[in-house]
Structure formats: structure tokens, C-alpha cells
Amino acid sequence: MPYVTGADLVADVLFRAGEIAGASEWDTKVVDYLNRDYLAVCTGASEFLPETVEDWWWMRDDGVLTLDPIITAGTVSVTNGSTTATFSVDPGAMTADTRRLKIIGHPDIFKIASIAGGVATLDSAYTGTTNSAASYEVLHTVYNLDSSVSAIISPIISFRDNPQLFGTSPERMDYLFPLMRLQSGVPKAFCLESETQVRFSHGGRTDGVSMRVEYRYRPTVTLLANIDTSIPLLPVQYRYLLADMALVQIFSDKNDDRAANVAAQARAGLMAMVRENHRRLTKIDSFSGQLVTRQGRARHNESKLLRTETGLIIG
């Protein structure tokens, strides 16, 4: 019978290590080792296969964000040296530290630390000239990701002008889309502000219309426990690998010379899972792993001769 639960895996490791489940000094340590290996495998990397990093087909989930339009209604009163900004039209509740206040005609852009009743507190004192009726833009640039996100693994998909928003580093974002030139509009790129927040290059549409974007991500992992309701995310046919890997570590602690053989077995099993992951990708994506002779052309050109710009036939 295949291993299904965390309890199955613990029992298997203890049995193969010559221990009695529930009466062994290794009961707790086995769970620790299982989780150490489980977390490593789920990230796509493992000390048992250090040369390989995978995005597993079974470690994917989907998320959605609704990007807000910019807010420009009415005016805002700002005072030099003060952190208070008062809007003539209440822009409504906002998530702290995710929106920027841009005063038209002043170069500095401020974070809105909090807002209530149309009165906002900025993250620093206003540095411009006092103005009781300044034109402004409130731009929403930072959004909270789904609480189960551990890593985004794809471009963010948009249904507007830019169908794919590619990720970049925060430093690259600051270079390509500096805050001093923060603009409204459909985003062109994103970066991760933290593990739970994403920042977009633009601050939202000017026509009052929200936008939907989608992203794929690697979900966070719930630690395994020695109970029947603890289910690993690995496909059932590969869950035995966690037992093999944990057994290697138990054997190493016990100076058991069987550790090397079990390690080779675990490595072979991981490599089989890697190959199966690649096979799934190539079965779905017929171009995966292929060399394409000219960008944007494939398959329908395979029967044609390949020539260089000078007319030389290749092949």
C-alpha cells in the first residue's frame, strides 16, 4: 500500500531503522527530518540532488489581484513640515503603506501611512509649499499577495494593454520606473517588496476602472505531523521519497553503514520525479527544450532549408 499520510511515513522510517513506533527515542526526530526534507523538496531543491532545481507541477496555485484606479477627486490641503493631508473629498479607507500621494507640481512623493475621515497621515513631513487646495493623485502601487504565497513563479497576467507583466528586482524597478516619475496607467512590470507584497510600476488607470490581474505561485507548506490527517503535497507515488530521505539522516546519526545505499535510492527516486516533471512539461508544451531557429517561427518551417543572410544553406 502506498504511503499516504505523515503517520505512514513516520512508521515506515522507524520500522526500517529497527525502532518501535511510539516507544523510540527517534519518534520526534523522525518528524523533524521528514519536515526538513519535505520543505526542501517543495522548494524544488534538495541536498540529495543539489545540481537540480525544479518548479514542480504539483506545487502551483493561482491568485488574483484587483488593481485600483488612481484617485484625483477634489483637492488636498497640505502644510509644509506637517505630516497631515486633508482631502476635500474623502477618498475612503486604504491599506496602510500601500499608496502614494503625489502633489501636482511638487517632485516628492509620499506614502500614506494611515487615513480616516478624509484626513491622511503621511510617512514623513510634507516638503513642499503650503497649499490649501492642491491638485493630487493617490496611486496604489503595492498590493498584498495571497497569504499562502511563498513565491511567484510566472509573469503576472493582465487583460489590458500589457498582457504579461514581467518581474524584476526592486533595484531594477527603481532604475526602470523610478518613484520620482511614478505615473498612472496599466503596469508594465512588478517586483517583490517582501514575501507577501508586490509593487507595480504604475499606479492605476485614470478612468476610474479597476483591473484584474492573475498570477501563479508556489504555495506555502504545512509541516507534517505523525497523524493520519497530515497529508504531504507530493503525489502519492512519490511520497515514499520523504521516508527514504529521513531514513538516510537517521542512519547517519546512528552511524549505520546502510546510509549510503538508502541515499543512492533516495537520489534515484528524486531524479525519477524530476524526469516525470519534465515529461509532463514537454507533453503539454511541444516547444519545451527545443532549439527554435528563428524567434516566432517553429514547426511550419521545419521542412524548409535554413539559409544565412548571405544565402549559405545550413544542414
Say if 306 falls within a structural domain.
Answer: no
**What are the backbone angles phi and psi of residue 305, rounded to the nearest 5°?**
-70, 145
Query: Does 93 share its domain with 28?
Result: no
Clarify whether residues 70 and 52 are in a common domain.
no
Residue % of the chain over a pLDDT of 70: 89
297 found inside a domain: no
Task: Write the CB contacts of 71 (distance below 8 Å, at least 6 apart in sequence).
Answer: 91, 137, 138
- Regarding whether 175 and 134 lie in a shared domain, the answer is yes
200 shares its domain with 278: no
200 in any annotated domain? yes
236: its cell numbers: 502519492
pLDDT-derived band of residue 85, with 50, 70 and 90 as boundaries?
Answer: very high
pLDDT the model gives residue 300: 47
- Assess whether 54 and 153 both reside in one domain: no
In a domain, 299, yes or no: no
Co-location of 82 and 47 in the same domain:
no
**pLDDT tens per residue, range 263-299:** 999 999 999 999 999 998 887 665 555 555 555 544 4
| Shared-domain flag, residues 96 and 25 | no
Q: Which domain holds residue 238?
A: 6-58+233-283
Percent of all residues in the chain with a pLDDT value above 90, rounded to a whole number:
73
70 located within any domain: yes
Q: What is the pLDDT of residue 237?
A: 94
Per-residue pLDDT band at 310 (split at 50, 70, 90): low
Total domains in the fold of the chain:
2
Residue 281, pLDDT score: 80
Query: Is residue 242, in this structure, part of any structural domain at all?
Result: yes
Cell of 280: 509532463
Question: pLDDT tens digits, residue range 100-109?
Answer: 999 999 999 9
142 and 266 belong to one structural domain = no
pLDDT of residue 312: 55
> For the segment 138-196, what is each residue's pLDDT rounded down to a tens digit?
999 999 999 999 989 889 999 988 899 999 999 999 999 998 889 998 899 999 998 88
Judgement on whether residues 191 and 211 belong to the same structural domain of the protein: yes
All cell numbers assigned to 262:
538508502
Does a structural domain hold residue 159? Answer: yes
Average pLDDT for the chain: 89
Looking at residue 291, what is its pLDDT? 56
Structural domain contains residue 305 = no
Q: Is the confidence at residue 256, as pLDDT, over 80?
A: yes
On whether both 81 and 204 belong to a single domain, the answer is yes
Tell whether 70 and 209 lie within a shared domain.
Answer: yes
Q: Tell me, yes or no, whether 158 and 237 share the same domain.
A: no
